[in-house]
Amino acid sequence: MTVLTNAHTHLELSWLSDYCPPVSGASFVPWIGGLIERRWELRQDWERVYEAAVEDAILELLAAGTTHVGDITLSGKSIGPLLASGLKGIVYVEVLGLHPARLDDYMTGARDIIEKWRPQERNGMQVGLSIHAPYSVHPDLMRKALDYARREALPLCIHVAESPAEFDFFMHDTCPLVDEYYLRFTLSPIQAPHLTPVRYLEQIGALELKPLLAHAIHVTQEDILTIAANECSVVHCPRSNLRLRCGRMPLEAFQVAGVPVYLGTDSRASSPSLDVREEMEVAVALHHGRVPPEAVEALLAQPLPPEPEDQPNE
Ligand SMILES: [Zn+2]
């Protein structure tokens, strides 16, 4: 079987394809705010919409020849269909939230979904945990989630260093993230740590669990070495990154540092398709002159999770 891995999707968001920004792009922070509002507008219809979206998305993945997927689900709606789909990979149940009084509720919500589905893992599809992103997760919730992932040996995925706004907020405490995310939704902002988002994850103990890091665009050379030293892997979603005006991930620097990099399409809310070969074509053009096309193409052939023979130390 030829491996074709799409390591970053949100299948339950496939109903938002009309929300995908044009090639000319849209800024990340207003985009994520609008996405949250579109979810609220579904009200009691959400279950039916999510279930249909997942069904369509799995057909799209299979039609593209996908064999392995790394999917994020906040609702849990993609887990059953993925376990039955014949696709291999990991479906990560997402936890996020900032309200100090609700941290246990956020954690319980994710844990209940994981505990329901993990005993039903089959066909090479595993259940994991996604801690959404440093800016959207209260530090105490981050610690609780990391403890849980460690205790249960759960595969872990974290979005990090995706937008320039996230980097600016973490380093300098001032950016659109405050006005257009925290204030817009009356969320209590986390205290800016004056660290890069990657360094923050290291300090809070996240990187030692070797998470799959989604995006990792706004990283310093030191961040890349830190990611390498912690044996984390990264998933690169260039079409989403371009459409959300997030910039170019320094793929060549990750390759020099020996960090495993996957390709992913991200959700249909920021990507025109779930065909990871189309993602690869854009990646080849984006990194032209820095990364050979063959090396970009090879990123598709790595199974998620890695199979034992791909891990020389085991
Ligand atoms: Zn994502």
- The token pair at 235 is 């998933």
Query: pLDDT at position 181, please?
Result: 87
pLDDT digits (tens, 9 = 90+) for 12-61: 999 999 999 999 999 999 999 999 999 999 999 999 999 999 999 999 99
Where do the domains of the chain lie? Answer: 5-309
Cα of 113 vs centre of ligand 1, distance in Å, is 19
Query: pLDDT at position 186, please?
Result: 84
Q: How many CB atoms lie within 10 A of CB 40?
A: 8
Q: How far apart are CA 65 and CA 61, in angstroms?
A: 7
Q: How far apart are CA 27 and CA 69, in angstroms?
A: 27
Cα of 72 vs centre of ligand 1, distance in Å, is 7
Cα of 10 vs centre of ligand 1, distance in Å, is 6
Given the residues 12, 94, 162, 279, select the one marked as catalytic. 162
Query: pLDDT at position 314, please?
Result: 47
Identify whether the C-beta of residue 287 lies closer than 8 Å to the C-beta of residue 251: yes
202 catalytic per annotation:
no
- pLDDT tens for each residue of the chain, 314 residues long: 799 999 999 999 999 999 999 999 999 999 999 999 999 999 999 999 999 999 999 999 999 999 999 999 999 999 999 999 999 999 999 999 999 999 999 999 999 999 999 999 999 999 999 999 999 999 999 999 999 999 999 999 999 999 999 999 999 987 788 888 888 888 888 899 999 999 999 999 999 999 999 999 999 999 999 999 999 999 999 999 999 999 999 999 999 999 999 999 999 999 999 999 999 999 999 999 999 999 999 999 999 999 876 555 54
In this prediction the pTM is: 0.96
11: CB partners within 8 A, 6+ apart: 53, 54, 57, 58, 61, 71, 73, 78, 81, 82, 267
Cα of 205 vs centre of ligand 1, distance in Å, is 21
DSSP character at residue 180:
I
The SS3 of residue 156 is strand
The domain 5-309 belongs to what CATH superfamily? Metal-dependent hydrolases (3.20.20.140)
Cα of 8 vs centre of ligand 1, distance in Å, is 6
Identify whether the C-beta of residue 149 lies closer than 8 Å to the C-beta of residue 141: no
Q: Whose CA is closest to 216, among 261, 161, 172, 262?
A: 161
Cα of 130 vs centre of ligand 1, distance in Å, is 10
